[in-house]
Amino acid sequence: MTGGRALPRALVLLWLAVAPAAAQRRGRTPPPPPPPEAVPYDGRFTWARLRYGAADFSGFRRDQPWSHDYPRGERNFTQILRELTAVRVRTQESQVLALDDPRLSHYPVAYMAEAGYWRPSEAEVAGLRKYVAKGGFLVFDDFAGDAWTNFEAQMRRAFPSVRPILLTAAHPVFDSFFRIPSLAMTHPYYGLPSAFYGFFADNDPTGRLFAIANYNNDLSEFWEFADQGFFAVDETNTSYKFGINYIVYALSR
């Protein structure tokens, strides 16, 4: 979309505009629990975050890995998505669902944080297969280093014959709204070089892309703190461009 490529300055301004009048100090606090009732489905694009059990989680934070950056990450991101695209977006509420929840099929894109701790049940594995079969698109984010081993193992449970394929900037997902000429990014804390992997039907890189993994990256971390200036503007803008491209790509195919 040509209009999308001409907006880098507008994106900087919007990045500043999402800051609240009294920005919270940067700090890790436990996020609020997921809403007790489902967000009513009304046809607007709604951020769907995947919830999973992680009984073996022994991190220093009190929140569960699936909830990292919730809800500020998606709230900031959906505001930018609404301002820059024609997508009708719900910006204040997101949906939190397990993979075996039948309501997941209402949401074309699902997001998962910290896949290194993901241990799906057999019912959730079946739900993942069903979601993809119905046209769902998945974004895996916020994991690095050895976390890949568990992530790939769980994906193979659902899709035994499918293998991750390292993406290059030539793939259409990186030209669906913004033209992203380079995939050179590093993890916001660890400094590891990022890599973007796609999962394709029949392992055909020219065919249907149904999942993307932001390995050694944490796009939502940039979104979460976009209103506080903790990260450089260019890095934050780049993270938004990746996210917007994913959504536009998923909704237009």
pLDDT 10s digits, 98-142 = 999 999 999 999 999 999 999 999 999 999 999 999 999 999 999
Give the residue, 30 or 110, on which the prediction is more confident: 110
Strands 137-143 and 209-215: parallel
In the prediction, which pLDDT does 152 show? 98
Comparing 172-176, 212-216, 229-233, which segment has the lowest mean pLDDT?
Answer: 229-233
In the prediction, which pLDDT does 117 show? 96
Within-domain flag for 55: yes
For 42-60, the DSSP string reads -SSB--EEEP---TT---S
Q: How many domains does the chain have?
A: 1
Q: Is residue 223 within a helix (H) or strand (E), and if so which, with residue range?
A: helix 219-224
Within-domain flag for 178: yes
Give the residue, 20 or 48, on which the prediction is more confident: 48
Within-domain flag for 122: yes
* Mean pLDDT, range 73-102, rounded to an integer: 96
Contact 74, 113 (CB under 8 A): no
Q: Which band of pLDDT confidence, cut at 50, 70 and 90, is reported for residue 222?
A: very high
Full domain range(s) for residue 10: 2-20+45-251
The separation between CA 228 and the C-alpha centre of its own chain, rounded to angstroms, equals 20
Both tokens of residue 187? 């993890």
Residue 35: CB atoms within 10 Å: 12
d(CA 94, CA 97): 10
pLDDT 10s digits, 9-18 = 456 545 444 4
Comparing 105-109, 188-192, 214-218, 226-230, which segment has the lowest mean pLDDT?
Answer: 226-230
d(CA 138, CA 242): 14
Query: For the domain that residue 77 is a member of, what is the CATH number?
Result: 3.40.50.12140
Within-domain flag for 156: yes
Would you say residue 21 has pLDDT above 70? no
Both tokens of residue 95? 């949906």
Within-domain flag for 32: no
CA distances from 117 to 55, 67, 99 (A): 9, 12, 15
Within-domain flag for 37: no
Within-domain flag for 39: no
* Mean pLDDT, range 61-71, rounded to an integer: 84
pLDDT 10s digits, 164-212 = 999 999 999 999 999 999 999 999 999 999 999 999 999 999 999 999 9
Within-domain flag for 33: no
Q: Which band of pLDDT confidence, cut at 50, 70 and 90, is reported for residue 26?
A: very low
d(CA 175, CA 178): 6
Would you say residue 253 has pLDDT above 50? yes
What pTM, to 2 d.p., does this model score?
A: 0.87
Length of the chain: 253
Would you say residue 220 has pLDDT above 70? yes
In the prediction, which pLDDT does 198 show? 98
In the prediction, which pLDDT does 53 show? 84
